[in-house]
Amino acid sequence: MRKLQSITNKLAPVLAIAAVLLIWLSVTESKVMPAYMLPSPVDVCKALVSDFGTLMEHAAVTLTEAFAGLGIGILLSFVIATLMDRFNFLYKALYPLMVITQTIPTVAIAPLLVLWMGFDMAPKITLVVITTFFPITVSLLDGYRSADPDAIALLRSMGAGKFQIFRYIKFPSSIGHFFSGLRVSASYSVVGAVIAEWLGGFEGLGVYMTRVRKAYAFDKMFAVIIFIIVVSLLLMLLVSVIRKLSMPWERKGENKR
């Protein structure tokens, strides 16, 4: 029964994607929408194959920006979340500012960053930091606050200091929450880099997308979109794999069920 349920769970998304592709193909083949507005999935696949080398070259630039911004975002998140958990005044002061940064559209921030920092990687990396910082920080804060109060009280009764409580109780309890936030931020990092590249740059998937859009090559534009989706999904999968390797006790708990 469990094996059948596992197969069903894995088959469901495949069937959903197949249904979307079938509807897409039927719409384009029946000429309900003209090809210049919605290219056929066959044409998109051909464009994806023919431009794969070019896409990989541009993807290397975009992923460099995404990984650099994500790495800086992770470091900042750990520092800020730890300080906010340690000092309640900082939590009350910084949390509203963090929320405000998420209400500002990234499309509105990107032109200012390009204006201030130029057309190199700096504005792209900065935008990725802004988009990835919030989910990880909030997840870490939730993880710190989900620590077992009885375990904390026990350590305090044994004379443990704040650093020891953080090391042995709070930090381990935040790991699962951290990976949940990282999974979201990993996909945001690619999207953030692409949006920043729309507004200026020389290489990257966003720059290539702008070029093919201006050339009205919408089959190539759809190919770039699909390529970005695949890259984002692979990054999310990579985070899930790292989580399983970093938290082997979760797999043991699942096996016991």
Q: Could you give the CA distance from residue 218 to residue 229 in angstroms, rounded to a whole number?
A: 16
- The amino acid at residue 34 is P
- Token pair recorded at residue 194: 């692409």
Q: What is the CA radius of gyration of the chain?
A: 22
**Model's pTM, two decimal places?**
0.84
Closest CA to 151 of 179, 131, 126, 170: 170
Q: What is the pLDDT of residue 69?
A: 94
Phi-psi region of 84 (alpha: psi -120 to 50; beta: other; left: phi over 0): alpha
Q: Counting every residue, how long is the chain?
A: 257
Q: What is the pLDDT of residue 1?
A: 57
Q: What is the pLDDT of residue 248?
A: 78
Non-local (6+) Cβ contacts of 193 within 8 A are 62, 63, 65, 66, 69, 124, 127, 128, 204, 205, 206
SS3 (DSSP) at 87: coil
Q: What is the pLDDT of residue 95?
A: 87
Q: Could you give the CA distance from residue 57 to residue 66 in angstroms, rounded to a whole number?
A: 15
Q: What is the pLDDT of residue 63?
A: 94
Q: Could you give the CA distance from residue 208 to residue 221 in angstroms, rounded to a whole number?
A: 9
Q: What is the pLDDT of residue 252?
A: 58
Q: What is the pLDDT of residue 9?
A: 65
pLDDT in tens, the chain (257 residues): 566 566 666 677 778 888 888 888 888 888 777 777 788 888 889 999 998 999 999 999 999 999 999 999 999 999 999 999 988 899 888 888 888 877 877 777 878 887 888 778 888 999 999 889 989 999 999 999 888 888 888 888 888 888 888 888 898 889 999 999 999 999 889 988 998 888 777 889 999 998 888 888 888 999 999 999 999 999 999 999 998 888 877 665 555 55
Q: What is the pLDDT of residue 7?
A: 63
Q: What is the pLDDT of residue 5?
A: 64
Tokens 């966003």 appear where? 206
Q: Could you give the CA distance from residue 71 to residue 133 in angstroms, rounded to a whole number?
A: 10
DSSP string, 63-86: HHHHHHHHHHHHHHHHHHHHHHHH
Phi, psi of 45 (to 5 degrees): -65, -40
Phi, psi of 201 (to 5 degrees): 155, 175
Contact 210, 198 (CB under 8 A): yes
- Token pair recorded at residue 85: 């958990």
SS3 (DSSP) at 257: coil
| Side-chain-side CA neighbours of residue 94 (13 Å) | 19
Angle in degrees, CA 61, 63, 67, rounded to 5: 125
